Structure 1
């Protein structure tokens, strides 16, 4: 690491972080991380793993753009009080992040199912890439076998990782004992070291030392020489996140036996590139390992298929290109967000003052909406903001949830009641957007936030509307609002982007007040809502 950072003109600022939750040590680590970030002043903070995400995320809030790389869900691996602690820690780490990069689609899906992350806040880029490992020289492999006491044809189950209970080592040892009943000459090769301070450390050590056929290579600087010794690799952890060791093993052509976690679905295709087994089930683990050892042709077939799968989906070049593009996107967002600081100051002052003055009336209005239109009172929708970055926009609801006999929602025109029309005509439904303005998702003045699905429909000029934060009101709103055609709206938006100034914003705010009082340009003729944008068609 020191050599790499020296070549890249980067710096290392070490911050010790304990793996397990420890309040005293974690507070100390948080302080050290905060000081490190203050010293380094990063534009983007990328934190990974649960504890780094928690500590680095909290400290990284000051850096404005913390990115949390979600490698796994530890809360699903541990039950009871410890599991609840992990769940809270995951939620805090995720809440601190501007975006969450999930290392695999399956992990993203599981995080969404658990309600940990809104869909719009996640992106899948991949955390690493892997190249095919070069074949080892036969004499080196033979030397390695001799040093470990392994004969050339001896079947070997391989494991790479921490020798700890959380890694499923007890289940692996018990499964290996069952394997030995049918494959007496099988060996279990453990590449890794004990975690002396981990829960159950004494039990793990005793199981390993008292089980014949277990060979421990210890902690090694390079794992690659050990892959040629293995027949199959086992990953018995209930949860470990996205395993780079599994990628490397697959890149060497080894079949994998993995517990059926969310992350496994992106590493192993059950029946094609390896085997799934239930977590915490030594019998199922033993059965899969026995199949791999007694049917070398099938194991070889799955290993070759796994190699092809990994090379297709986890090439380093593809992963690095995705990360580079994403960082460029974030840097662009940060650059645009720091322009016109006086505008941001005005947004904070006006939105904060508005919430203080209108807080109680808004609560009363919310109660009335709840009574007349039902709940939830707030309408939430993901909209594209500055640089197209998604955010959740808040508005008061203006429609009921009335459904027809078939269970489908009735048309908008039917569900938009007289009270809902009043909220829209007076723009009272827009008041919750003051929260978006205070948070920095929106501005008092700017192009109105449209739908995410419109983004690919913009031409190059129209896309420039995202060079500024979307607004509570804008130049298009004071020049016709929803009575304008889409082309006219975009032209007004572009004029604002190209001519924006503090004086223009004040002018638009005053014009907006007049428009609201006169209830001008609320909707297109005959429409309960504005017509949908279908793209600009060349004439």
Structure 2
């Protein structure tokens, strides 16, 4: 059974981001574990018990503290060494860094960092530089960085926190999707909402703007209260329903706190475990945030049939389709926020229209099952890649050993052969040329020279057949011209076995399928070489190269090496019919212009 460990900084993040997901993987072939800081301890145990997974405590702290962070890294590393998970999924900034480093040090085969947002976007000075460094390190430790929204992915790449190729967004985004059924305005839900309204002192005819989240500056509390006070001055029936609580990090100013606690139109319900019935008390949800990853609250409100006004901040812009499910306004623009709220409070038909559109969007794009299935596919892909990486490490070790031993044994014969080439063909002894290697990155390939420097009256090289010498034919037939390639193998430019490195000019002529030959290091010999070498057509050669890429293994490499020895003695496939070697590749018919 595959062992999967999720690590978040605080237990509340597990409830917010992983509700239902842990249980899903536990029921689908994974041995699931959840780890976070122990405060509040009961919260983590509650989540773990509900999800049916094992809980573990590590001393993570949200704020930066070198001493505590070093201890947390040591404890997390010990936990990983004990559990030996196949997959780790770390999320939230501190867990992403500490968990990612510990997983890398422990050699976890498949490492995922779920990027929930960028705290650094609203921080300046030395702390911002530190946060940038932390994010880059967390991303570097992961095999894949799951960005919870398209705009977050774009921003992370723009800030050079992570290469674009390493990132992905699962479906349309979000950390965990939204279960629409929890928020639909059923008869039971409406009755519960009515009872809550009476308890909070909300009259049935009140117009209510809702907010769900932490009371911090980054959530736009100042702009929200400013917009509300402008609207309240015109309509004293208006109410602002706040669900959430203050936090010490990024605290709101004292005067805003006083407004929240004393304004007659503000209803502060505090932190609530289940906000679902409260959405039915709102006419519109406001989220004037400065930064997000992909806020779940707007999707919950949309699932409840409520329109949303959010900012165009990173992440928040993905939660609302402007003019369809609500409005987006510029970050920090109190007047734009006021106007958008006023329009939805005054135009009930438009509010209903946006609410229905939001509901349909959540149903269509943000079902939790879709997120979980996409995550499962990612885990499977990463585990397959891990198996490939393990094979590549072994392959590289074999390359180094064989190339090293080969150069040691053949060093003197190669020097003697070089002398013969110098005597018969002149300088240089080696033919050196730029060729495409792994991922088509260029390198300088070396072979013993086999042709004369012969040109026509215009200074152009003569055809290969006229420049090839008897010595050159012998070297090619015996493959002795390839011996200097052992230096390329030792350097890591090439492998003993792989698709032959061809000319740089061919790169633009390959089809996407043919270009897959560059997914592995090129080789001194390969599957195409032992199945026809230069005697087969280009299309067949490329088909054999791609087959090798898809089916490579140590056993196959050993088979190719042994067959190569046999082919060398038989001198098969040295050249194409009518050619000294192989005609130039001009592209497949569908690829030619």
CA contact 2:177–2:367 (8 Å) conserved in 1: yes
Write the distance in 1 (CA, Å) between the matches of 2:486 and 2:169. 33
Q: CA deviation at 1:455?
A: 9.7
- Asked if the contact 1:75/1:83 (under 8 Å) is kept, the reply is yes
Closer/same/farther in 2, CA of residues 148 and 477 from structure 1, 3 Å limit: same
For residue 468 of structure 2, what is the aligned residue in structure 1? Answer: none
Q: Secondary structure at the match of 2:168?
A: strand
Distance 1:531 1:166, change over 3 A: same
Give structure 2 stretches of 5+ with no counterpart. 1-43, 407-433, 446-459, 462-480
Instruction: Give 1:162 deviation, angstroms.
Output: 1.0
Q: Offset at 1:273?
A: 0.9
- Give the Å deviation of 1:501: 5.4
Hey, what does 1:395 align to over in structure 2?
Answer: 442
Task: Give the counterpart of 1:130 among 178, 193, 204.
Answer: 178
Distance 1:198 1:430 in 2: 59
Q: Secondary structure at the match of 1:271?
A: coil
1:175 to partner: Cα distance? 2.1
Within 1, Cα distance between the matches of 2:488 and 2:335? 56
Deviations 1:359-385 (A, max 9, x none): xxxxxxxxxxxxxxxxxxx9999x7xx
Contact 2:215/2:252 (8 A) holds in 1:
no
Match of 1:500 in 2: 555
Displacement of 1:256 in angstroms is: 0.9
Which of 58, 74, 90 is the matching residue for 1:31? 74
Q: 1:76 aligns with which of 121, 125, 144?
A: 121
Q: State the partner residue of 1:317.
A: 369
Residue 18 of structure 1 is aligned with which of 57, 61, 72?
61
Q: Which residue does 1:45 correspond to in 2?
A: 88
> In the alignment, which residue of structure 2 is the partner of 1:247?
299
Match of 1:490 among 543, 547, 555: 543
Q: How many angstroms does 1:222 deviate by?
A: 0.9
**Paired residues for 1:47-446 under 5 Å:** 47-61=90-104, 62-125=107-170, 126=173, 127-132=175-180, 133-136=183-186, 137=188, 138-200=190-252, 202=254, 204-339=256-391, 342-346=394-398, 394-396=441-443, 445-446=497-498
Q: Hey, what does 1:525 align to over in structure 2?
A: 583
User: What is the Cα deviation at residue 497 of structure 1?
Assistant: 3.5
Aligned to 1:206, what secondary structure does the other structure show?
helix
Equivalent position to 2:526, from 466, 475, 492: 475
Q: Return the alpha-carbon distance in structure 1 between the equivalents of residues 346 and 109 of structure 2.
A: 55
Q: What's the offset of the Cα at 1:519? A: 13
Q: Distance in 1 between matches of 2:563 and 2:364?
A: 53
TM-score (norm 2): 0.67
Distance 2:310 2:580 in 1: 58
Q: Root-mean-square deviation (CA), in Å? A: 4.5
* SS of residue in 2 equivalent to 1:190: strand
Deviations 1:185-216 (A, max 9, x none): 21111111111344446565334224342211
Q: Distance in 2 between matches of 1:428 and 1:524?
A: 21
Partners of 1:483 and 1:522 within 8 A in 2: no
Q: For the residues of structure 2 that align with 1:216 and 1:431, how far apart are their CA atoms?
A: 72
TM-score (norm 1): 0.73
Rate the CA distance shift 1:340–1:207 in 2: closer, same or farther, 3 A. same
CA deviation profile, 1:393-427 (whole Å, cap 9, x unmatched): 643499xxxxxxxxxxxxxxxxxx99xxxxxx999
Gaps of 5+ in 1: 355-377, 384-391, 399-416, 419-424
Q: Report deviation, 1:154.
A: 0.8
1:450-473 Cα deviation digits (max 9, x unpaired):
999989859xxx99x99xx82331
Inter-partner Cα distance in structure 2 for 1:260 and 1:73: 15
Residue 134 of structure 1 deviates from its aligned partner by 3.2
Residues of 1 paired with 2:512 and 2:567: CA distance?
A: 30
**Conservation of the 8 A alpha-carbon contact between 1:254 and 1:303:** yes
Corresponding residue pairs, total: 465
**Residues 482 and 285 of structure 1: CA distance in aligned 2, closer, same or farther (over 3 Å):** farther
Post-superposition CA distance 1:208-252 (Å, at most 9, x none): 224342211111111112111111111111102111112111111
8 A Cα contact 1:448 1:470, kept in partner: no
In structure 2, relative to structure 1, the CA distance for the partners of 1:37 and 1:154 (3 Å cut) is: same
Shift of 1:49: 2.4
Maintained 8 Å contact 2:528/2:544 = no
C-alpha offsets along residues 484-503 of structure 1, whole Å, 9 cap, x if unaligned?
A: 52323433664774783574
8 A Cα contact 1:68 1:100, kept in partner: yes
Displacement of 1:283 after TM fit? 2.0
Distance in 1 separating the partners of 2:508 and 2:185: 48
Q: Deviations over 1:66-112 (max 9, x none)?
A: 11112223222223333322222222211111111122223223333
Larger radius of gyration: 2
Secondary structure of 1:229's aligned partner: coil
1:59 shift after superposition: 1.5
Aligned equivalents of 2:166, 2:398: Cα separation in 1: 27
Structure 1 residues 526 and 455: CA distance shift in structure 2, 3 A: closer
